[in-house]
Chains A and B, each alone.
Chain A
Amino acid sequence: MSDFEAIVQSYERSGGNAHFLRSPKVASLVVSGNEVLGSNEIAGVHLTSEQLPDGVRAKVVVEPGVRIDTPVHLCFGVLPKEGVQRIVSEFAIGDGARAEFLAHCTFPNAVRVVHLMEATIHVGRDASMAYRETHYHGEEGGVEVIPKAQVTVDEGGKFATEFALTHGRVGKLAFDYVVDVAAGGVAELVTKAYGSGDDAISIKETIRLNGEGARGLARARIAVRDQATSEVYGTTEGNAAFARGHIDCVEIVRDDAIANAVPVVKVTNPQAYVTHEAAIGTVDKKELETLMARGLDEERAVDVIVRGMLEG
């Protein structure tokens, strides 16, 4: 089996649809280790890549005014049991453009794999970018993933991202996104993770609402069990008039797991308004008993509640 077929197979196991990686009508990029196995451009979307000793540098440019109907599909993976993969990426979404990205990162055989993502993202004026990223780290817990992004959203632009790592083990996750939002812009960050064993989850999200009327939402949904740990640091700054921000964090803790949340709200303009809510604890008793009263045993009831929170 070729490396391309192997990574595509793994991509499908992590929830991706391989049809899109093979279609000439869909922009896509497939990277295994430090090799670019596939790259497809479409009108208005340019993908360039360069091999690095330990990964790949990639640039994605969406021309101004271009509206992509089918999401750009990205597949990053490491198939061997051990290795390091560093993805240095740059996304430039032109003014008025609209693009959606579906990224799958898969490390199905990982025993000791490190995956670093260093992204720079620029969303132009009145442009819109949605980035949905799904990870699968196998069942060993031997993956360390460090996704970092610096995001700039221009006036009227919109940036939405969802990071999900809800199946298999997490390993170590250190997620760190910083988003600067200009006037009338919107940023929405959603992170979901389910840790077990000795997994360690760290989520840092910073949204700086710098322009008038900018809006931001940071939402985290985390579940941990066994001896897993999670830390969620959400910071939202209201630095301009009529900026509106909200941090919403829910963490479900079971067994000997430990979770903490540190929401930080900072307002430097008296006309800005930023709020936060955080709830950490075990599964809600009424939810649990309601499902048990339908005949589910406790384990299954907890699973339904956690899966609903993470996958809904």
Chain B
Amino acid sequence: MNDGPILQVEDLHLKRGDKEVLRGVTMDIQAGQVYGLLGRNGSGKSSLAYALMGCAGYAPSAGRILFEGQEVTELSITERARLGMTLAWQDPARFEGLKVKDYLGLGMREPAPALMEEALEAVDLAPCDYMTRPVDDALSGGERKRIELAAIYAMRPRLVMLDEPDSGIDVLSLEEVARLIRRLAEQGTAVLLITHRDEMVPVADVAALMCEGEIVQVGEPQEMREYYAERCRPCEVANLVEPVGGVYERL
């Protein structure tokens, strides 16, 4: 049994075309911890999640990823998932003809109807209304997002990367998303919470700021939230109007 961090990222670099989108990311996430990763659009948050999950086109050019002490940098998505890692995309995929109950069951060790119902209720969807509906365009973006979160809940992973779970869901529901994240953590799931909305940060145990492919600050969630809200600018704006003399200027 590994007693260290559930996820260790060491000096991770990623190039997309000519651009280096991750520039030496180093981070640790503990088991059951909610790790909030804050950053503006284009700062590299989603690329980091795709690289951690092993998505095609996101193989790191340097660095290591360790999950429960085991290096997974070269493993496939499936292999990582079977170890207990998973990812919820910002804009969940649509699956023509695939029913919600079947979709939920795919990630479960033993598809149990009671757990599927619990998962849908956890995201405020009535099971009787959704179980037999397909996960396709007939669902709204918000509904698909909730079903994606329900699938994660039902899967019970050891680590989930939630890419902007708050996008596409109305403001009133942010509280529900936060509650769900806490429930996941209470069940022992570590959460990498990727967001650009500082309102989401209080749900985290620890928070980090990402800027131009680097994690530039890690600290208490409230401290990071205030810093982000007061000082962070979109990367392209920062590059245009502020002197690039160091991290704080860029932020």
Contact = CB atoms under 8 A, between A and B. Distances in A.
A293 interface: yes
Contacts of A250: 96
A102 interface: no
A288 to B, nearest CB: 9
| Chain A contact surface mostly | helix
Contact of A294 (B92, B136, B155): B155
Contacts of B95: 287, 305, 308
A290 interface: yes
Nearest to B94: A287
B106 A294 contact: yes
Contacts of B97: 307-312
A292 B107 CA distance: 9
A285 interface: yes
B148 to A, nearest CB: 8
Contacts of A298: 78
A305 B98 CA distance: 8
Interface string A187-225: 000000000000000000000000000000000010000
B93 A296 contact: no
Contacts of A285: 56
A290 B92 contact: yes
Contacts of A312: 96-99, 134, 136
A286 interface: yes
Category for how many chain A residues contact B = 20 to 34
B93 A286 contact: yes
A290 B89 contact: yes
Best-surrounded residue of A250, A296, A307 (most CB of chain B within 10 A): A296
A309 B93 contact: no
Interface in B182-231: none
Interface in A264-295: 284-287, 289-295
Contacts of B179: none
A50 interface: no
Contact of A308 (B76, B80, B89, B134): B134
Contacts of B106: 291, 294-296, 304
A292 B76 contact: yes
Interface in B66-118: 76-78, 80-82, 85-87, 89, 92-99, 102, 106-107
Interface of A: 221, 250, 284-287, 289-298, 304-305, 307-312
21 contacts: A284-B93, A285-B56, A287-B94, A289-B77, A290-B93, A293-B53, A293-B80, A293-B81, A293-B87, A294-B151, A294-B155, A295-B82, A295-B106, A304-B98, A307-B97, A309-B96, A309-B97, A310-B97, A312-B96, A312-B98, A312-B99
Interface of B: 53, 55-56, 76-78, 80-82, 85-87, 89, 92-99, 102, 106-107, 134, 136, 151, 155
